[in-house]
Structure 1
Amino acid sequence: LSRRGVRKLQVLSLRRGLRDAVASLPGLESLSLSGCYSVTDAALASAFAAELPALRRLDLSLCKQVTDSSLGRIAQSLKNLEELELGGCSNVTDTGLLLIAWGLKKLKHLNLRSCWHVNDAGIAHLCGGGEARGTPELEYLGLQDCQRLTDEALKHAATGLPNLKSINLSFCVAVTDAGLRHLARLPNLEDVNLRACDGVSDAGVAHLAESGRLKALDVSFCDKVGDEALLHATLGLSGLRSLSLSACRLTDEGLERVARLSQLETLNIGQCTRVTDRGLR
């Protein structure tokens, strides 16, 4: 495989040693182990015993046996990693994020979906808080269903992640409008997903509108968001291309304001039960 120039490897089922597969591909740039439930810390420690300077992307999503121990090994051996997928790795904790913050200086994409043990302290590590060096090059941060996170995490992000372009906070039920005030300070933020964030209201959208830079916003199933949010959007988010308002308190009056968003390409208003045919004309 190495002689054929293979640089990307996707493993669907692990029946043989991972170490042999990795060792045979010294130029490996992308490795996906997504859904390989049998992968353990020991297997990853063996596979990454030596440095892999070419590896840029690693997908460990749904590798449920992976713990902070593996993140320590990754931080040591994969120093050029730019993309790390940890969605569903529910044993990862703030300690693991500290290890990432120490070793992965080039990281641009980090997905922590459903890493339920992660809290504000872990995000502080990524942002260079305390003894951590941080991950200042990060452009995407996926925090979907990390329900221990609060507005404090967004306060850390506002000061420690200056290159952040996209953040997914869907189902982070402790995030509120106050946290979005911090988020709006990020100079490069373009995409915010707040789906099912119960603490977000029209006031939170107003905070985001102050930035004037967003291109995509999802506040679906935020039942405190309504017509007033669209007023703020039309005044401060004229560059929006995608807007999702499914199940929000939207009426025909609010929908009329959407027409002022001249660059809008995608609008989701499913389950907005107060919208009638008149609002769609």
Structure 2
Amino acid sequence: MEDLPESLLAEIVKRITRRCDLNSLSLVSKQLYTIDESVGQQKSPSDFIFLPQKGFDPSYDAHNPSTYDFCCDSLKDLRLARMTPGQEIGLRVLLGKCKALEKLWLEYVTGLNDNDMIALSRSCSNLRSISLWLSPQFYDYSCRTSFTDDSLKALAISCPMLQAVELTFFDCDPCWPSEIGFTLEGLLVLIKSCPVSVLVLNGANFFNDEGMEAISSAPFLETLELVDCVAITDAGMRFVTYTPCLTNLTLRLCNKVTDSGVAELGRAHKLQCLIIEGCEGISEKAVQGAARSVHYSIKSASCGELKRVCKERG
């Protein structure tokens, strides 16, 4: 196939309509990937979604990293979902070449570690948005999520334009805090070092009232979304009123927050938008007047709906 004229290969690519089939071209040859990227620019010049069906690249060769030598210097938006890349070198080489990357979404990508994120941060100084959906994996006789505070600190040092951060943790038991590789200390280093204006924490059982107090001094934070953050209580709500630019607050499945905590928000008259969903300790009556715009629901959005909201935000 490498011997075919590029014009003929381009015509072949144009006739492939399914995105998953186009993505598969990148696993065949560098030439086909280049053509796919060129043709794809007619539809979406900076987006690339990689959703491999088998979970890993069977052509990966640790002694031949050129297999992953993709032409992605102009790539701005990258989403990798539910896949397992080749061991060690594969994804690290890819992320290290995405120098123009602005948005990254890693959704339950297994087999990664801090070295991958460090490679990314060193190359992608233009990164503005990062979304990490993580679940525990086995690492050297321990079970935890892929990245640790070393990844957050690398982002803090090398990505000075980072504005939106989403950290979602699935199947992490609050009784076993070590299942999450991040700590409150690492998160605060990131928030204080970068102009983070949007912060979404889902299932972050390490984030507590102390964390709420710490981010109250974040000068750029405008939107805070807390989902299933079991350690947040009414005491933490008091610090919302001290956060200088915070105007949008969402609480989902935060069952230790009660009407008393919401009352703190109402007295401050600070919030533009307040969304309360599935918080059993908060009544609909309590949220009235707590912000200029209020949405209240006894039930929380489903996982699929939350995923769509996050994608639209990015």
Q: Please indicate the TM-score interval, normalised by the length of the shorter structure.
A: 0.7 to 0.9
Distance in 2, Cα, partners of 1:39 & 1:180: 44
Match of 2:121 among 59, 69, 75: 75
Task: Give RMSD over aligned pairs.
Answer: 2.6
Distance in 1, Cα, partners of 2:133 & 2:113: 12
Deviations 1:221-263 (A, max 9, x none): 3222225523xx32x42x21x4123169xxxxxxxxxxxxxxx
Going by fraction, where is helix more abundant, 1 or 2? 2
Counterpart in the other structure of 2:101: 55
Counterpart in the other structure of 2:132: 86
State the percentage of identical aligned residues: 22
Distance in 2, Cα, partners of 1:190 & 1:39: 43
1:173 offset after TM fit, Å? 0.6
Q: How does 1:94-243 map to 2 (within 5 A)?
A: 94-114=149-169, 116-128=180-192, 134-135=193-194, 137-159=195-217, 161-226=218-283, 229-230=286-287, 233-234=288-289, 236-237=290-291, 239-240=292-293, 242-243=294-295
Aligned to 1:73, the other structure's residue is in SS state helix
Contact 1:123-1:156 at 8 Å conserved across structures: no
Counterpart in the other structure of 1:245: 297
CA shift in 2, pair 1:67/1:3, >3 Å: same
Q: How does 1:6-25 map to 2 (within 5 A)?
A: 6-13=45-52, 15=57, 23-25=70-72
1:182 offset after TM fit, Å? 1.4
Contact 2:69-2:93 at 8 Å conserved across structures: no
1:178 offset after TM fit, Å? 1.3
1:177 offset after TM fit, Å? 1.3
Aligned to 2:78, the other structure's residue is in SS state strand
1:167 offset after TM fit, Å? 1.9
Structure 1 spans left out of the alignment, 5+ residues: 129-133, 249-281
Distance in 1, Cα, partners of 2:46 & 2:105: 14
CA shift in 2, pair 1:109/1:227, >3 Å: closer
Amino acid at match of 1:153: G
Aligned to 1:23, the other structure's residue is in SS state coil
Distance in 1, Cα, partners of 2:255 & 2:92: 40
Going by fraction, where is strand more abundant, 1 or 2? 2
Aligned to 1:153, the other structure's residue is in SS state helix
CA shift in 2, pair 1:198/1:207, >3 Å: same
Q: How many residues align?
A: 235
